[in-house]
Amino acid sequence: MIIDAWNGMEVFSGDDLLNWKKQSLPILENPGKGKDDQAIGGHCDVVVNGDKAYVYYFTHPGRRKDQPASKGSFEDKRSVIQVAELKYKNGEISCDRDQQVSIYLEPPKNKRKMERISKMPGFLIAMLLFSMAVRAQVPVYLFSYFKDNGQDGLHLAYSQDGYTWEALNKDRSFLKPTAGKDKLMRDPCIIRGADGRFHMVWTVSWNEKGIGYASSKDLVNWSEQQYIPLMEDVNALNCWAPEISYDAGRKQYMIYWATTIPGKFPETDSSGDGKYNHRMYYVFTKDFKAFTKPEILYDKGFTVIDATIQPRKDRYVMFLKDETKLPTPQKNIKIAYSKSINKGYSEPSAAITGSYWAEGPTVLVKEKEWIVYFDKYRDHQYGAIATTNFKSWTDISDKIKMPKGLRHGTVFTITQKEFDVYLKGYR
């Protein structure tokens, strides 16, 4: 982390975003020798390009210590954007603002455009690079989903605003399912892992005791699909709608899903759909090879499926489907809270999706706005609600546009640069 100390830029480092250590020397505190760079640097941003990093900062050229401009004059207020390459050595960051900067840019296809750029003043090139770097970090939202019964596999859609979603790859599958006996790919959940890879789990069957798993570095080329036998050792009927969350404290992934174990919760055996009487279970894993023993994640005396967990401030928020059908149908989305990711969740809230028969919630957090998408499966439509305070929810179903036939999946975020590299050819 680099902050403006009004006497150069102070540099801090930390392992957990909570505890920070300031390095011994600041950067950009001494004026440079280049044109318009003979003043203290301020208000910086950092861009990583390949294996190099660059600091963009501005100077007030008229505020030189040796030749100060008149206060309030044009020269006193004039600002210039500069760029320098950062160096990392012995645990500290430094930069030589007088050293020539060389930045690799992919040549434009238009030769005249390249010639125009090459003739730009240095500060304009810096501004161009800065705008390109900012655009590269703009978020692109992705929605993983399935269609029909999940027989053709993984589908992806993208959005710039969270409201209008467009199918990628002409709405064809990115990955055909091979795991499990029934070879379905329902409820695909994708997260970016701590290792930078994308990890995906999914429902392989209506009545098998495990789930599917695969990983990818680019969302197009996937590892060999695995069948994970989460509930093979118990008299389980199923493993539905698995999801993944990463627990940074444990440095482990938590996989959680809904399962029915006949006779385990007899008081609600007749409240669901036929033989199903679900509860939420979980395991931890570091490598998707070894797993802890399955344990109960959520049991509040009713049948529950389709949980998804998001951190919010100092607690976790679980969005879940109350699957009760009898004697009074619920079939809606509710919320529970906990200080711990894997235990201690509260009683459920009132339904946040109104009277809809809703399932498959997934959440997009955009600054202060939380959008919850869900499948209005009886109506064969997708719905969405939004909030900024968790006290009142606004139905925005009429404002969203989803690909036809989209079914239960998850929302996750990549950068514009990643989208251009990985998926631009699939638009």
pLDDT score of 377 more than 60: yes
- Is residue 136 within a helix (H) or strand (E), and if so which, with residue range? helix 122-136
| Percent of the chain scoring above 70 in pLDDT | 93
pLDDT for 63: 83
What mean pLDDT is predicted for residues 319-343?
Answer: 97
Angle 216-219-224 (CA atoms, 0-180°, nearest 5)?
40
Secondary structure tally for the chain: helices H, strands E: 4, 26
Which structural domains are found in the chain, ordered by start?
A: 2-136 (no CATH), 139-426 (2.115.10.20)
pLDDT for 31: 86
pLDDT tens string 224-242: 999 999 999 999 999 999 9
pTM over 0.75: no
CA–CA dist 308, 298 (Å, integer): 12
How deeply is 275 buried, as exposed, middle or buried, from its count of CB atoms within 10 A (0-12, 13-18, 19+)? Answer: exposed
pLDDT for 108: 53
- Separation of first and last alpha carbons in the chain: 36
Looking at the DSSP bridge assignments, the partners of residue 370 are 365, 387
pLDDT tens string 254-268: 999 999 999 999 999
Torsion angle of C-alpha atoms 35, 40, 42, 46, degrees rounded to 10? 60
What mean pLDDT is predicted for residues 91-117?
Answer: 72
pLDDT for 71: 79
